Amino acid sequence: MKRLLKSLFLMYRLNFKLDLKSLMAYPATFWFAIITIPLWSLLQIMFIETIYGQVDNFLGYTKYENYVLFGTYKLVQSLAVIFFMVQLEELTERIRGNDTWSLDMMLLKPIDSQIFATTGRYWFGSISSMMVGVGMIIYGLVRDPHMMSMGNIVVYGLSVLLAVVLFYFLYLFIQTWLFWVEYLKVGGSLWFTIQDLGQYPRRLYQGWMGILLNIVFPITLAAAVPVDFLFGRMPWYHLGIFIVSVGVIGYLTRLFWQYSIKKYSSFSS
Amino acid sequence: MKKYWYRFLSAIQSEFQYRTNLFAWMIVGAIGPLIMVFVWLRVLETQSAVGGYERSDFILYYLFTTVGWYIVGGEFARPIGTAIRSGDINKSLLQPYSVILGKAVWEQAWKLLSLLLSLPVCALVLYLTRDSLAFHFDLSSLPLLIVSLIGGALIFGLLQAIIGILAFWMTEIWPIVEMNDMLLNLLGGMLAPITLLPMIVQTISLYLPFRYIFFEPVAIALGKQPYPLEVVAKQGIFIVLLYVIYKLIWRAGLHKYEGIGG
């Protein structure tokens, strides 16, 4: 176990350096990303302003609470993109053998295939998006102050990290279908689209959609649960339920990955 | 034109090769508008209308923008950019074939198939919501609706072509593509009907081509545009303007182009 952790640490550190060097080699791409990616937040800000131009309270959230909700979503989403997007996005071409690393080569390495093939690369272009998220959280809290204990803030931070892991499992689940269907080019877009469902209050989804998005595949928990912890609307011990939910999703996703890897016919070699 | 027709047919064949993507793209395209409908219907729980839009209008608005995307939209700026970077456009300079038009034609294949795929889904939505739907469309506006859809498609296509040929100067055009998509969402009315957005956004949208791509044709279809002829005339002005800009950039780009690769 200790050896595995050490090799993982070395791999992540090396990739971190390589991705930083790549960033320095193509700075224009980085700066374009830094400027353009956060612009998408403008859409949601306009939407919040439009909705709250009509109502004072939307599904239990005031306007500035909604800013905190969207800021939290943006924070979680940006962290997921920074830490998990690159490897999972490249999986499509790796399975086809179009990438410099084919999946076949990766499977031969003496390390867990899921960890090696789907984690350990970084995309720093989303840092600005993360900053926008933090800015929106601060703006919402300043305009509509809430009483918050240190415990609330700690549990909020932990639930944000859990939500990032939840986003990873979601993308992994989508990309694992690559082993079962032909060239799935839409994986990344599907991930971003499904993620976006998490930026709205949970009560938006009712009936079968509520069951699907709040319980079966609880993407709505990604931002709503951390915000509920922050505002003290949810007792801290509910964090345990959140951990179990994410753990179960992670376990099932891993089973799906392992089963799919066994069925993989290695057509790219 | 025959060469473009064959290109279209080969694009259709290519799409059939990756059928799952078609289905998945349809889901991706439908989720956003569906959520918007949910949001507005929840807002309408406390009031009967928002800015003149009732329950029926919101359902039809997002249904029309979703279907309208398959008629008017698409995305071929990136393939044009790649063709310039890789030197693939060289053949278009030597032969009577336009790579730009070729990419645009190729894009129509998945749009047509997605449109056909989405029709049963739309019919189902219309059936399920039949009790709350009210159509205010005047049949006499049909010719103008068709012209405005064609106008919207031309404006959209010219914007895509202009962004694509910026690759003569830029190694990466995706940030411009992203910005264009964002503006299309906000000022084109895909996020929400423009008349409901803050006044500053409404004012800006009047001077840019984006609202004439989706919002105005959909407004005509909903019977919410009292001056459809004026819309078509403004579309005509933007088409001419964008075409001139496209030609100028194309000529300047060719002077700079070194034709490496291909």
User: Cα–Cα distances in Å, from B96 out to A107, A258, B34, B89, B93?
Assistant: 48, 52, 44, 12, 8
The pLDDT value recorded for residue B62 is 93
Share of chain A above pLDDT 70, in %: 97
Which tens digit of pLDDT belongs to each residue from B199-254?
Answer: 999 999 999 999 999 999 999 999 999 999 999 999 999 999 999 999 999 999 99
Q: Where residue B23 falls among pLDDT bands split at 50, 70, 90?
A: confident
Q: Cβ separation of A55 and B46 shorter than 8 Å?
A: yes
Is the pLDDT score of A68 beyond 80? yes
Mean pLDDT score, B131-141: 83
Pick the residue from chain B with its C-alpha nearest to A34.
B175
Q: What is the ipTM of this complex?
A: 0.84
To the nearest whole Å, the CA of A194 is away from the closest chain B CA by 8
Instruction: Work out the pLDDT band at B20, boundaries 50, 70, 90.
Output: confident
* Residue B196's pLDDT band (cuts 50, 70, 90): very high
Q: Which amino acid is at B4?
A: Y
Q: What's the mean pLDDT in B170-187? A: 89
- Between chains, do A43 and B185 touch, taking CB under 8 Å as contact? yes
Q: Which residues on B lie below 8 Å from A125 (Cβ)?
A: none
Q: Taking phi first (over 0 means left), then psi (-120 to 50 degrees means alpha), and beta for anything else, what does residue B49 get? A: beta
* Neighbour-count burial of A189, counting CB atoms closer than 10 A to its CB (0-12 exposed, 13-18 middle, 19+ buried): middle
The angle that helices B55-72 and B142-165 make with each other, rounded to 10 degrees, is 50
Measured distance CA(B129)–CA(B41) in Å, rounded: 12
CA distances in angstroms from A148 to A138, A246, B69, B183, listed in the order given = 13, 25, 45, 37
Does A10 score more than 70 pLDDT? yes
Residue A268 reports pLDDT greater than 60: no
pLDDT, residue A206, reads 85
Question: Cα(B49)–Cα(B73) distance, rounded to whole angstroms?
Answer: 29
Q: How many angstroms separate the CA of residue A96 from the nearest CA in chain B?
A: 14
Chain B residues close to A73, C-beta within 8 Å: none
Is residue A111 very low, low, confident or very high in pLDDT (cuts 50, 70, 90)? Answer: confident
Q: What is the arithmetic mean of pLDDT over B159-188?
A: 91
B103-117 pLDDT, tens digit per residue, is 899 888 888 888 888
Mean pLDDT on B132-141: 83
Amino acid identity, position A9: F
In which band, very low, low, confident or very high, does the pLDDT at A99 lie, cut at 50, 70 and 90?
Answer: low
pLDDT score of B173 more than 90 = no
Partners of A58 in the β-ladder? A61
User: Residue B100 has what pLDDT?
Assistant: 87
A184 and B32 in contact by Cβ < 8 A? no
**CB spacing of B20 vs A181 below 8 angstroms:** yes
Interface of A with B (CB under 8 A): 28-29, 32-33, 35-37, 39-40, 42-43, 46-47, 49-51, 53-55, 58-59, 181-186, 189-190, 193-194, 196-197, 200, 204-205
B11-25, B139-153, B231-245, range with the lowest pLDDT:
B11-25
CB contact under 8 A, A50 and B198: yes
Categorize the per-residue pLDDT at B175 as very low, low, confident or very high, splitting at 50, 70 and 90: confident
- A237 Cα to chain B: minimum distance (Å): 31
Residue located via tokens 């003569």: B168
Tokens of B217: 């044709």
Q: Do B178 and A37 touch (CB under 8 A)?
A: yes
Q: Which residue shows structure tokens 């924070």?
A: A75
pLDDT at B166 over 70: yes
DSSP string, chain B: -HHHHHHHHHHHHHHHHTHHHHHHHHHHHHHHHHHHHHHHHHHTTS-S-BTTB-HHHHHHHHHHHHHHHHHH----HHHHHHHHHHTTTHHHHHSS--HHHHHHHHHHHHHHHHHHHHHHHHHHHHHHTGGG------GGGHHHHHHHHHHHHHHHHHHHHHHHHGGGT-S--HHHHHHHHHHHHHHSSSSS-GGGS-HHHHHHHHTSGGGGTTHHHHHHHTT--S-HHHHHHHHHHHHHHHHHHHHHHHHHHHHH------
Closest CA to B210 of B178, B181, B236: B181
CA B103/CA B88 separation, integer angstroms: 11
Contact B20 A190 (CB under 8 A): no
- DSSP secondary structure letter of residue A126: G
Find where tokens 């194309």 sit: B250
* A/B interface, count of CB pairs below 8 Å: 86
In this prediction, residue A3 carries a pLDDT of 80
pLDDT at residue number A98? 67
Output the pLDDT for position B261.
65
Of A36, A53, A184, the CB nearest to B21: A184
What residue ranges do the domains of chain A occupy? 1-263
Task: Give B21 to chain A, closest Cα distance, Å.
Answer: 6
Cα distance from A262 to chain B (closest Cα, Å)?
Answer: 22
Picking from A227, A224, A218, A225, the residue whose alpha carbon sits closest to that of residue A250 is A218
Query: What residues of chain B lie within 8 A of the CB of A128, using their CB?
Result: none
Do A240 and A86 contact (CB within 8 A), yes or no? no
Q: State whether B186 and A42 contact (CB < 8 Å).
A: yes
Structure confidence by residue, pLDDT tens digits, A169-220: 999 998 898 888 767 777 888 888 888 899 999 889 888 888 888 887 888 8
CA-wise closest residue to A90 among A110, A119, A111: A119
Distance from CA of A29 to the nearest CA of B (A): 7
| Per-residue confidence (pLDDT) for residue B262, from 0 to 100 | 57
| Separation CA B49–CA B19 (nearest Å) | 40
Residues of A in contact with B38 (CB under 8 A): 204-205
Q: What is the pLDDT of residue B32?
A: 87
Choose among B162, B155, B156: nearest CA to B100. Answer: B162
